[in-house]
Structure 1
Amino acid sequence: MFPKPKILFSWFVFLLSFASLFLSSWIILPAPNMFLLTLAVGAPEISPWLLILNLLSLLLSFLYIRRRKIWRLCFIFSSIGLILCAWVLVNIPLTQIQMAKAMQQGLGTNYLEQIPMQVRAKMQTHPFNLVNFFGGIPLGKTRHQKDIIFASPAGVPLKMEVYQPPEVGKYPAVVVIYGGAWQYGNPHANSEFNQYIAHQGYTVFAIDYRHAPKYQFPAQLDDVRTALNFIRKHAAVYEADPERMVLIGRSAGAHLAMLAAYQPDAPPIRAVVNYYGPVNLVGGYKTPPFPDPINTRAVLKAFMGGSLEELPNQYQIASPINYLTHPLPPTLLIYGSRDHLVEARFGRQMYERLDNSGNTAVFLEIPWAEHAFDAVFNGVSNQLALYHTERFLAWALFKQ
């Protein structure tokens, strides 16, 4: 005999409430491996959807479940899930206040007034918008070119993608460097971000570099510097202003962006944006995160060609935090408090060193965010980060 429909539905609601709690739990649980890291990254970013899912399971259990033990479990599961999701959403206003204060502290209380009105008019009007969360952040029309070869070191063709505003003109240059533990990735990564920024009035260059372990440091830095020289030489072709250039990187790409911008002989760079990038390779090797889902020491060994004990000087040279001996471009650092690949304490340390050495810097920390939080482009954390990133870019490249 088949179970009665009411019993089947009760078990369906039970499984729904359990699944909702399981997904919501990764808002606070640290991921022990790369498979579960995807859940830890995504859960807080889709917390409004998870909130709805928990509410739905709670409502269904109230209305249709009569079996006391299952109802009690459904109620417990859904309630815990709701609390976890609500923690993220309730903290959005407070986090935004703290981020706004950090921007004013780093750039000046009137920094927004230095941005032309026509530039400000294109920006997001709210740090977090539920309409954009559910419907997507509008990207706007752009021109897009890909597979542009800018160099072939050791016979490896390095390509870039270029995103331009729809109208012909001359625009500030934004160079974007993807992450991937220096071992994988391509210039098409974060294409939504590149398209969005280009529509705001920038020429965006998404560049490539050789990957470890086959090619080790400083090959990646050399490739970034080669790309910058190529962009400056061919700036007119891509309607870019080589004297108004910003570097943006994520994770390993942020590390390379900072290193390239901080070199004493770097070309003119107006600013650097660091999304959760390694800044102190010595410290990262000595005190890896726990849990350590990517095996930090193994990643650093592959990138550097050996351990810290074997190559102490190379680890020092490869750490942006050691380049504070001369004036540096303004730097925006964005980290998640729950990052278990590159811990936020390193970003905070970098900010303090920059600030104490007289350089302009802004440190933004998102309490619930994991590494690569902006992989969900319309997610909670990326909306906050994008809101302040576009203001930092405009301040650095358009200020009057």
Structure 2
Amino acid sequence: MNTAMNQALGADYDTKIPVELKANMRQQPFILTDVFRGISLQKTRHLTNINFASPAGVKLKMEVYQPAKVGKYPAIVFIYGGSWQSGNPSAKPEFNRYMAARGYTVFAIDYRHAPKYKFPAQLDDVNSALDFIRSHAAEYEADTDKMILFGRSAGAHLAMLAAYQPNMKGIRAVVNYYGPVNLTQGYNEPPIPDPINARAVLKAFLGGSPQQLPTLYQTASPINYVVDNLPPTLLIYGSRDNVVEARFGRQMYEKLRNKNTAILLEIPWAQHSFDSIFNGVSNQLALYYTERFIAWAVNS
């Protein structure tokens, strides 16, 4: 993982991270005592129930996590997973609190769910959230010239789609935790075993199969948006993931790496949603490199 970071960002990438920020970051990729005592989250401010849009009469809300001290901070926009069908901005708040305590304003956003609302409704909602964040940046102490899009699973898929749109402003980087990238292939080659019934999930999200809707599947696949000069991308997958297989992360990395800054970190024993255990081995590894990647991106 160190080698992957150094190859993509340069062996001296950590010199671009301010000393005061680095001092508050995790000092080792894995700390055994944290498995038992937990990872310190420290004091933050937390705002809830912020309505940012109401498409088709559906009230979409976000939560905001801020450092304890008033200021102006780089923004992390977090998008939850749940097969595009479930979830809410309150999901897995530990990461949001952790990053807020280290000098970021974190926006955890909502989006409409399939099957009632099909793609591109979810991407439209992410874009609405980004517009709201930009227009209310001063109120929430966010520097919208330094934004990171971060997503897990279905949320990572949406984060990549949003970050890779032409003329997207202020996005310094995108972080993808085990997100689907090639929906056509994901449908045609489902995992074995297939715990969530991948084909049923994709039909609910898009309204049919790739044989019925080939263009829509292409449009909804982040791998088809790879061009020059995209925001730097961090991809983290688990080798034992049977929901979104690591081969899709490798496929995305291979397409990105020739034209863009991209890092693939594959955790050998990890499964889907490995970061659900925040103080576990897999998440400690992911967190160590994720916070360094984000710090590099907003300070480069």
Same fold (TM over 0.5): yes
What TM-score does the superposition give when structure 1 sets the normalisation length? 0.74
AA aligned to 1:371 is H
Instruction: Provide the C-alpha distance between the structure 1 equivalents of 2:129 and 2:24, rounded to a whole number of angstroms.
Output: 29
Helix, strand or coil: the match of 1:237?
coil
What TM-score does the superposition give when structure 2 sets the normalisation length? 0.99
User: Deviations along 1:271-315, whole A, 9 cap, x unmatched?
Assistant: 000000000101101101000000000000000011111100000
Helix, strand or coil: the match of 2:150?
strand
The alpha carbon displacement at 1:190 in A equals 1.3
Instruction: Provide the C-alpha distance between the structure 2 equivalents of 1:190 and 1:291, rounded to a whole number of angstroms.
Output: 26
Helix, strand or coil: the match of 1:335?
strand
Q: Aligned-pair RMSD on alpha carbons? A: 0.7
Pick the aligned partner of 1:376 from 259, 277, 281. 277
2:131 maps to: 229
- 5+ long unaligned stretches in structure 2: none
8 A contact 1:142–1:165 mirrored in 2: yes
Counterparts in 2 of 1:1-400, with a 5 A limit?
A: 99-356=1-258, 358-399=259-300
Helix, strand or coil: the match of 1:325?
coil
AA aligned to 1:237 is E
Instruction: Provide the C-alpha distance between the structure 1 equivalents of 2:175 and 2:10, rounded to a whole number of angstroms.
Output: 18
AA aligned to 2:287 is L
User: Deviations along 1:135-171, whole A, 9 cap, x unmatched?
Assistant: 0000000000001000000000000000000000000
The alpha carbon displacement at 1:111 in A equals 0.4
Instruction: Provide the C-alpha distance between the structure 2 equivalents of 1:265 and 1:253, rounded to a whole number of angstroms.
Output: 21
The alpha carbon displacement at 1:266 in A equals 1.9
User: Deviations along 1:186-242, whole A, 9 cap, x unmatched?
Assistant: 000110110000001000000000000000000000000000010000000000001
8 A contact 1:164–1:202 mirrored in 2: yes
- 5+ long unaligned stretches in structure 1: 1-98
Instruction: Provide the C-alpha distance between the structure 1 equivalents of 2:288 and 2:46, rounded to a whole number of angstroms.
Output: 23
AA aligned to 1:167 is K
Which stretch of the first structure deviates more once superposed, 325-334 or 360-369?
A: 325-334
Instruction: Provide the C-alpha distance between the structure 2 equivalents of 1:292 and 1:108, rounded to a whole number of angstroms.
Output: 38
Helix, strand or coil: the match of 1:332?
strand
8 A contact 1:264–1:326 mirrored in 2: no
8 A contact 2:228–2:260 mirrored in 1: no
The alpha carbon displacement at 1:131 in A equals 1.0
Percent pairwise identity: 70
Q: Which has the larger radius of gyration?
A: 1
AA aligned to 1:383 is Q
Instruction: Provide the C-alpha distance between the structure 1 equivalents of 2:167 and 2:186, rounded to a whole number of angstroms.
Output: 27
8 A contact 1:163–1:205 mirrored in 2: yes
User: Deviations along 1:22-76, whole A, 9 cap, x unmatched?
Assistant: xxxxxxxxxxxxxxxxxxxxxxxxxxxxxxxxxxxxxxxxxxxxxxxxxxxxxxx
AA aligned to 2:285 is L
Helix, strand or coil: the match of 1:246?
strand
Instruction: Provide the C-alpha distance between the structure 2 equivalents of 1:266 and 1:304, rounded to a whole number of angstroms.
Output: 24
AA aligned to 1:224 is V
AA aligned to 2:262 is A
Instruction: Provide the C-alpha distance between the structure 2 equivalents of 1:346 and 1:106, rounded to a whole number of angstroms.
Output: 19
AA aligned to 1:364 is L
Helix, strand or coil: the match of 2:74?
strand
Q: Which has the higher helix share?
A: 1
Instruction: Provide the C-alpha distance between the structure 1 equivalents of 2:168 and 2:112, rounded to a whole number of angstroms.
Output: 20
Instruction: Provide the C-alpha distance between the structure 2 equivalents of 1:269 and 1:115, rounded to a whole number of angstroms.
Output: 18
Residues matched between the structures, number = 300
AA aligned to 1:389 is T
User: Deviations along 1:299-339, whole A, 9 cap, x unmatched?
Assistant: 00000011111100000000000001342000000000000
